[in-house]
């Protein structure tokens, strides 16, 4: 699972991930700017947290590097060595050469950015000393299966869920061009220009703009739907794929929790894929597609009407501590009203409830709790024997709204 910050990492691990991948801010393809970002000061802390849970941390160094980036990497070598992440994810040959020489006790994983599409390419990376190859998203199940059969002595990883790039294996210059070089996609600063709405201009009529798709929703002609292979993960496990990967380091704490739980439960046989699919629809998405997996990728894989992911359930709050029997302190992420019907989820269980009391520490009883309030909520649970695991419990709206 992705870990865009330490907080998200903790929830991803608690909700079922075996490992997380996280990026140092100068060397990652996701340059985040909020939350407790992973940097040279807390990389070691991140690894220690994972180790304490028997989980793993993979550190992404997968930018396409210029010489100035290589100079920074040399300055970071000792910090990475001391932190001891379980693997480094790389795509650049120069970075590969440096970490193989100077961090030779840390496994190297080959990024999907290298667009590895065939068994000979996998053997190439194996012979160079890589421990794992993250296969390109453009592969079908049968192609993945053939690679696994042809190359048995290296780990293989494949993406199963999350936002997709419209460019081949993420190699895009659209952001670079449209921001005049200020937002370089392969330096972690992608402006997601493929999510913008576009209009057509005819050369002799520069002042006249035409909708490329004539409807009331816009024209997001390059905005892909999100990948979702929840119905196929057991097939991937059966053919010997070592690791299943989810995209989403810029996504919310709620997203990584809900997605991790759904895939964990299906892999462990505790939830059927259709039930899990409904759970995944409650997390942020642009509509779902199976991409290239079934060899039938086409225009239906694009989300022409929206650019922003929408969730089938709204994330309402984070449980912080238990106050009394049915009362808990929460940090609110959206507003709720007295008597609202809600759903509480934890790594293992979920239950519906009604909010029967809202109490502010200074203002007393209220009829609503606002976003960013730290407030006490009292619940009437639909299951009287249910106990909230308040350390990792999350609050969301009940049911599912259809977004697409």
Q: Report the pLDDT value the prediction gives residue 219, as an integer from 0 to 100.
A: 56
Q: What is the count of structural domains for the chain?
A: 2
Q: Report the pLDDT value the prediction gives residue 214, as an integer from 0 to 100.
A: 45
Among 5, 35, 6, 3, CA closest to 17: 3
Task: Phi first, then psi: give them for residue 320, nearest 5 degrees.
Answer: -110, -40
Domain boundary, last residue among 236, 267, 301: 301
Per DSSP, the three-state class of 32 is coil
Tally: H helices and E strands in the chain: 10, 20
Residue 378 lies in a domain: yes
Residue 273 lies in a domain: yes
Residue 1 lies in a domain: no
Same domain, 258 and 341: no
- Return d(Cα 151, Cα 31) in angstroms, integer: 34
Give the H or E element holding residue 112.
Answer: none
Contacts of 254 (CB under 8 A, 6+ apart): 283, 311, 315, 333, 394, 396
Domain boundary, last residue among 248, 279, 301: 301
Q: Report the pLDDT value the prediction gives residue 222, as an integer from 0 to 100.
A: 67
Residue 306 lies in a domain: no
Domain containing residue 351: CATH number: 2.40.30.10
Q: What is the crossing angle of helices 67-83 and 93-102, to 10°? A: 30
The pLDDT tens digits of the residues spanning 63-106 come to 889 999 999 999 999 999 999 999 999 999 999 999 999 999 99
Same domain, 69 and 105: yes
Residue 208 lies in a domain: no
Residue 191 lies in a domain: no
Same domain, 63 and 89: yes
Residue 32 lies in a domain: yes
Domain containing residue 231: CATH number: 3.20.20.330
Same domain, 333 and 284: no
Same domain, 297 and 323: no
Same domain, 333 and 243: no
Q: Report the pLDDT value the prediction gives residue 213, as an integer from 0 to 100.
A: 55
Same domain, 151 and 272: yes
Domain boundary, last residue among 301, 332, 348: 301
Q: Report the pLDDT value the prediction gives residue 49, as an integer from 0 to 100.
A: 96
DSSP structural state of residue 268: T
Same domain, 31 and 57: yes
- Return d(Cα 288, Cα 232) in angstroms, integer: 14
| Residue 372 zone, left/alpha/beta (φ > 0; ψ -120 to 50; rest) | left
Whether residue 16 contacts residue 265, with contact meaning beta carbons closer than 8 Å, is answered with yes
The pLDDT tens digits of the residues spanning 321-330 come to 999 889 999 9
Per DSSP, the three-state class of 153 is coil
Q: What share of the chain is helix, strand, coil (3-state, %, to 5)?
A: 30, 25, 45
Among 367, 374, 336, 375, CA closest to 353: 336
Task: Strands of 198-334 (E only): list them.
Answer: 199-201, 209-211, 226-228, 243-246, 288-289, 315-322, 327-332
Residue 11 lies in a domain: yes
∠ at Cα 396 (321, 382), nearest 5°?
A: 80
Q: Report the pLDDT value the prediction gives residue 361, as an integer from 0 to 100.
A: 87
Same domain, 141 and 251: yes
- Return d(Cα 185, Cα 29) in angstroms, integer: 7
Whether residue 207 contacts residue 222, with contact meaning beta carbons closer than 8 Å, is answered with no
Which residues does the chain have with pLDDT short of 70? 25-36, 166, 168-172, 177, 186-188, 210-222, 297-309, 384-385, 389, 402-404
| The model's pTM | 0.86
Give me 63's structure tokens. 């930018």
- Return d(Cα 147, Cα 41) in angstroms, integer: 39
Same domain, 358 and 252: no
Q: Report the pLDDT value the prediction gives residue 192, as an integer from 0 to 100.
A: 77
Cα→Cα distances 90→107, 112, 181, 196, 230, Å: 11, 9, 23, 29, 27
Q: Report the pLDDT value the prediction gives residue 249, as an integer from 0 to 100.
A: 76
Q: Report the pLDDT value the prediction gives residue 31, as an integer from 0 to 100.
A: 52
Q: Domain containing 146: what range? A: 6-171+223-301
Same domain, 290 and 319: no
Same domain, 160 and 107: yes
């Amino acid at each position: 699972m992705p870990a865009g910050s330490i907080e998200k990492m903790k929830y991803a691990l608690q909700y079922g991930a075996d490992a997380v991948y996280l990026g140092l801010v100068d060397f990652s393809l996701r340059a985040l700017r909020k939350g407790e970002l992973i940097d040279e000061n807390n990389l070691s802390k991140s690894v220690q947290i994972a180790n304490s849970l028997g989980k793993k941390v993979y550190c992404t160094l997968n930018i396409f590097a210029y010489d100035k980036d290589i100079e920074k990497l040399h300055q970071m070598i000792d910090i990475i060595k001391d932190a001891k992440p379980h693997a480094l994810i790389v795509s650049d040959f120069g970075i590969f050469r440096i970490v193989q020489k100077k961090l030779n006790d840390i496994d190297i994983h080959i990024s999907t950015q290298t667009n590895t599409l065939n068994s000979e390419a996998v053997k190439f990376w194996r012979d160079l000393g890589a421990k794992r190859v993250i296969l390109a998203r453009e592969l079908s199940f049968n192609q993945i299966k053939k690679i696994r059969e042809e190359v048995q002595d290296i780990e293989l990883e494949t993406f199963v869920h999350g936002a997709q790039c419209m460019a081949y294996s993420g190699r895009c210059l659209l952001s670079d061009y449209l921001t005049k070089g200020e937002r370089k996609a392969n330096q972690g600063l992608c402006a997601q220009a493929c999510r913008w709405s576009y209009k057509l201009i005819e050369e002799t009529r520069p002042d006249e703009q035409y909708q490329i798709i004539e409807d009331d929703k816009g024209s997001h002609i390059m905005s892909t739907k999100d990948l979702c292979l929840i119905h196929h993960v057991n097939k991937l496990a059966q053919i010997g794929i070592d690791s299943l990967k989810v995209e989403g380091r810029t996504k919310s704490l709620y997203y990584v929790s809900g997605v991790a739980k759904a895939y964990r439960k299906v892999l462990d046989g505790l939830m059927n894929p259709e039930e899990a699919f409904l759970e995944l629809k409650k997390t942020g998405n642009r509509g779902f597609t199976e991409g290239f997996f079934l060899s039938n990728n086409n225009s239906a894989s694009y989300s022409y009407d929206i650019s922003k992911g929408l969730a089938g359930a709204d994330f309402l709050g984070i449980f912080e501590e238990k106050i009394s029997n049915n009362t808990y302190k929460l940090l609110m992420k959206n507003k709720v009203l007295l008597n609202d019907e809600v759903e509480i989820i934890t790594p293992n269980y979920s239950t519906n409830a009604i909010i029967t009391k809202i109490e502010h520490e200074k203002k007393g009883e209220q009829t609503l709790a606002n976003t960013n309030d730290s407030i006490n909520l009292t619940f009437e649970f639909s299951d009287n024997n249910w106990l909230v695991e308040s350390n990792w419990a999350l609050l969301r709206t009940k049911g599912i709204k259809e977004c697409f």
